[in-house]
Copies of this chain bind each other. A is one copy, B any other.
């Protein structure tokens, strides 16, 4: 973004002032569409598990991920796209969908399986959150595994980061807000101003930073995944900064660039 865009007329003194970066977070899923997007970068967070899965797949050589909202769209798109190197992945109710190649556990997305392949992905919360911001220019995908890489990308873009936790069935997702809080903590240390909700998320991160695994094990979404037999995914998903990838979602495709 050109630096000139960051000069704004002050609401109070009416003079032209330099507006530094300012970071925000949407604590609940909502119509992000209604926001003014100019000069913003949207960071879609879905720790459990779509974002972690996307980061893992791309880190393991997957060419690109196409997020779609419905199961029918996934099957339909797989038929229409050229080439045979396509995997259909995702979940409903946490479990792999009948007829899909792979579920939504990031541990399934090994180099052996995904290298050189395209993945069509549909999940209950994460792919919906991605589609809710799909029209915007700058969209990144984040989980604990790549917080530092995403923060660095935000700083290079010099755009105002808006964290978009995927939520859980339209409601609050603690693990995503805590992950957002970790990025906001890092952004704050870079001198980025934080809105009240961003500052609140940083406080929540600080409350849990010593025991992220305990946090995901005890939160609503984590307890559900444990009941479904995905306990090992939780430890995988709270690894911090094991990936240097900051996936970009643009024109329907998520890639490393």
The answer to whether the Cβ of A172 comes within 8 Å of any Cβ in the partner chain is: yes
Question: What is the total number of residues of chain A having a CB less than 8 Å from a CB of chain B?
Answer: 21
A204 CA to B196 CA, complexed, in Å: 11
Residue picked from A12, A197, A227, most chain B C-beta under 10 Å: A197
**Copies of chain A in the complex:** 2
Pairs A-B, 3 closest by C-beta atoms: A172-B197, A174-B196, A27-B27
Residues A27 and B196 in contact in the complex (CB < 8 Å), given A203-B204, A203-B207, A204-B203: no
- Give CA–CA (A12, B195) in the complex, Å: 40
B195 touches A177 (CB 8 A): no
Asked if A219 CB lies within 8 Å of chain B CBs, one says: yes
For A200, the chain B residues whose CB sits under 8 A away are: 172, 174, 177, 204
Residues of B within 8 A of A28 (CB): 26-28, 30
Instruction: Enumerate chain B residues within 8 angstroms of A197, measured Cβ to Cβ.
Output: 171-172, 174
Interface bits A194-222 vs B (CB < 8 Å: 1, else 0)? 01110110011001000000000001100
Provide the bound-state CA to CA distance between A27 and B219, in Å.
Answer: 17
Interface string of A142-159 (1 = CB under 8 A from B): 000000000000000000
Cα-based distance from A178 to B28 in the complex (angstroms): 17
Residue ranges of A at the interface with B (Cβ–Cβ < 8 Å) = 12, 26-28, 30, 171-174, 177, 195-197, 199-200, 203-204, 207, 219-220, 227
Which residues of chain B are near A207, meaning CB under 8 Å? 203, 207
Contacts of A204 in B (CB 8 A): 200, 203-204
- Report the bound CA distance from A20 to B99 in whole Å: 40
Q: Per a CB cutoff under 8 Å, which of B196, B220, B227 touches A195?
A: B220
**19 pairs from A and B in contact (CB 8 Å cutoff):** A27-B27, A27-B28, A27-B172, A28-B28, A30-B30, A171-B197, A172-B195, A172-B196, A172-B197, A173-B196, A174-B196, A174-B197, A174-B200, A177-B200, A195-B220, A200-B204, A203-B203, A203-B207, A204-B204
Closest chain-B Cβ to A224's Cβ sits at a distance in Å of 11
Instruction: Kindly state the separation between the CA atoms of A173 and B27 in the bound complex, as whole angstroms.
Output: 11
Q: Which of B26, B174, B196 contacts A220 (CB 8 A)?
A: B196
Residues of B within 8 A of A227 (CB): 12
Residue among A12, A28, A173, A227 with max Cβ neighbours from chain B (10 Å): A28
